[in-house]
Amino acid sequence: MNCVRVMLSLRRCILFIDRGHWLMLLVAAPLMLFPAPARTPLLLVVPVVWAIGWIARPRAPLPSTPLNAVLLVLMVMVLVSVVVTPDLAFSLPKVAGMVLAIGAYFAVAREARKPVGLWLCVLALLGVGAGVAVLALVGTTWGAKISFLSVITARLAPRLMGLAGAEEGFNPNQVAGALLWVTPLFLCLPVGLATMQRHRGAPTRLGARVWRGMLIVMATLAALAMVGVLVLTQSRGAYIAFALGLMGIVFLALPRRGRWVMVIMLVIALAAASVIVWQRRDTIAPLVGLRIDAAGVTSVDTAADGLSTLDGRLEIWSRALYGIEDFPFTGMGMNSFRKVVHLLYPLFLTSPDTDIAHAHNEFLQAALDLGIPGMIAFGALYLVGLWMLWRIWVARAGDGLTRSLALGLGGGLFTHLVYGMTDAVALGAKPGILFWMLLGLISGLFAQSNGAVAIGQAARRVPGVTANHE
C-alpha cells in the first residue's frame, strides 16, 4: 500500500510540474538568452520539460503540429552546426537561442490549443512585443537616414548600453524587424473586438461593455505606439514590408467588390505618387536620405562600412553565396559568418573592422548557419505557417474575431518575410523569440479550428469580451 501511495504521489507531482511547463522555461529564459559556457547545462531544461511531458502524457508528450517535421530538421541541423563551428563559445548564444525558441514554440502551441490558453498566449506575445518597443526607446542607437525624423531621434540618446550582443545599443533595423512580427496583430485585435461587438450585439451588462471598450482603447493606443517606434527606426526595408503587409490585410478584410475598388484606387494612387515624386525629386530626396547627382540616385547614408548602400548589400550577398558554396550541407556554424567573412571572403566596400552580424537576407543567413537543409526548413516554416492561416481563414468564415487574429498573425509573418529579403534577424537572435511565439499561436489556432472549438468560448471568460459562436 505504501508503494502505491508513493507512486500516486509521484505521479501527481509529475502532473503538477507538467502543467507548469511554461514556468520552467520562463525561469530559465534569461540565462538562456545570455548564455555562458559555465551555464551550458541549462540548455537541458527544454529536453527535461519534454521528458516530464512524456512521463505525464505518454501518448502525446509534445503537441502534434504541421511544423513538427520541419522543426526536427532544424534541430538536427543545429546539432550539426555545433560540431562544425570553428568557435563553439562564439556560436553558443545563437545555439542557446534556438533551443529556447523551439521550447517556446511547443509551449505556446500546447497552451494555445485551449480556448483560454490562446488568449493568454496572445496577451503574452503582445506583452513581449510592447516590451521590445519600450526597450527600443531607451536602448537604440538611432540612425540618421531621414532628416525630419532625425530631429526626434537625436533627443532619444541610448541609455541602455552594454548588453551582451548589443554593447553599443540596439540596431534600429533589428528593432524594426522584431516589431514587424507583432505590430499587425496590435492593429487587427481592436478591429476584431469592435467588429464582434457590432455584429453580435452589445453585452447586456454595463460592466462588460466598459471592459470591452477599455480593451479596444488600450489595444488601439498600443498599436499606434508600436507604429510610432517602427517609424522612428527609419528602416526603409521595414517601411516597404509594413506597407505591403497592411495593404494585404485590408485587401483580405474587404468584401469581393471592395477588393476590386481597392486595386483600382491603388493603381491610380501609385501613378499619381510617381508623377509627384518625379516632379519634386530634388526636394523629396534629401528628406528620405537620398542624393541626386550625375551618377543617378544614391544614398547619403553612406557610412564608411558601406552596409547602408545597395552596392554594399550586393557585395555581402555575393560573399554569403561563396560561403554557401563552400559549406553547402553543414553550414559554417551558427554566428560564424561575422568572423569568417573577413578571413575567407574579404570585402572591398566594408572595413575589415566592421562587424557584419549577418548576411542581410534571412534565407542566406539560415544557409550559412545551418546549411541548405536548414535553409529549406526555414523556408518551410513560412510556407506551412501561411498555409495554416489560410485554412483558418476559410474554416472560420463566420467568426470575425478569429479571422482578425488570423489576419494579425498572418500580417506579422508576411511583413517580416518581406523585410527578411534585404535584412535579417538571424536564427537564434534574442528578438527571434517573437517569431517562435507567433508560430506557436498559429499552430494553436489551427488546432482549435480543426477541432471546431469556438474561440469565443475563451472570450466569454475574458472580462468584457463575449461572443456567440455558431
Span 387-434, pLDDT tens digits? 999 999 988 877 778 889 999 999 999 999 999 999 999 999 999 999
User: Looking at the structure, do residues 38 and 99 belong to the same domain, yes or no?
Assistant: no
Per-residue pLDDT band at 279 (split at 50, 70, 90): low
Average pLDDT over all residues of the chain = 83
Predicted local distance difference test score (pLDDT) of residue 200: 46
Minimum mean pLDDT range among 104-113, 385-394, 454-463: 454-463
Q: Containing domain of residue 449, as a range? A: 70-459
For the segment 145-166, the average pLDDT, to the nearest whole number, is: 77
Same domain, 39 and 162: no
Tell me what pLDDT residue 460 has.
47
Alpha carbon distances (Å) from 363 to 309, 345, 369, 380: 20, 19, 10, 11
In a 13 Å sphere around the CA of 16, the CA atoms on its Cβ side amount to 6
Beta bridge partners of 296: 293
Q: Which residues contact 261 (CB under 8 A, 6 or more apart)?
A: 254
Total domain count, the chain: 2
- pLDDT tens-digit map of 174-188: 999 999 999 999 999
Cβ-contact 190, 220 below 8 angstroms: yes
Specify whether 268 is located in the same domain as 412. yes
Q: Are residues 124 and 45 in the same domain?
A: no
Long-range contact set of residues 314-320: C-beta below 8 Å, sequence gap at least 24: 315/347, 315/348, 315/349, 315/350, 316/341, 316/347, 316/350, 316/356, 316/359, 316/360, 317/359, 317/360, 317/361, 317/364, 319/345, 319/347, 319/359, 320/359, 320/361, 320/364, 320/365, 320/367, 320/368
Residue 456 banded pLDDT, cuts 50, 70, 90: very low
User: pLDDT tens-digit profile of 302-324?
Assistant: 444 556 667 788 899 999 999 99
Q: Residues 353, 354, 355, 356: is their CA dihedral positive or negative?
A: negative
Confidence band for 295, pLDDT divided at 50, 70 and 90: very low
**15-51 as b/e, with b when 16 or more CB fall inside 10 Å?**
eebbeebbebbeebbeebbebeeeeeebbebbeebee
Nearest-angstrom CA–CA distance, 271 and 275: 6
Question: What pLDDT score was predicted for residue 454?
Answer: 45
Residue with cell 550577398: 317
In-domain check, residue 275: yes
pLDDT of residue 308: 64
Task: Count CB neighbours of 171 within 10 A.
Answer: 18
**pLDDT given at position 257:** 80
Asked if 272 and 132 sit in the same domain, the reply is yes
| Residue 469 belongs to a domain | no
Assess contact for 469 and 215: CB atoms under 8 A.
no
Q: Do 237 and 332 have their domain in common?
A: yes
Same domain? 102 vs 39: no
- Set of cell numbers at residue 5: 501511495
Last residue of a domain, one of 61, 92, 113: 61
Residue 60's contacts (CB-CB under 8 Å, 6 or more residues apart) are none
As a whole number, mean pLDDT of residues 199-222 equals: 68
Q: What pLDDT score was predicted for residue 313?
A: 86
Amino acid at 183: T
Question: If DSSP codes are grouped into helix, strand and coil, which group holds residue 245?
Answer: helix
User: Do 174 and 296 lie in a common domain?
Assistant: yes
285 and 199 part of one domain:
yes
Q: What is the mean pLDDT of residues 193-206?
A: 57
Q: Looking at the structure, tell me whether residues 325 and 440 fall in a common domain.
A: yes
Domain boundary among 61, 82, 97: 61
pTM: 0.87
Q: First and final CA of the chain: distance in angstroms?
A: 50
Q: How far is CA 34 from the centre of its chain?
A: 19
Query: Which of 15-29, 158-172, 347-361, 386-400 is predicted least confidently?
Result: 158-172
> Are residues 103 and 217 part of one domain?
yes
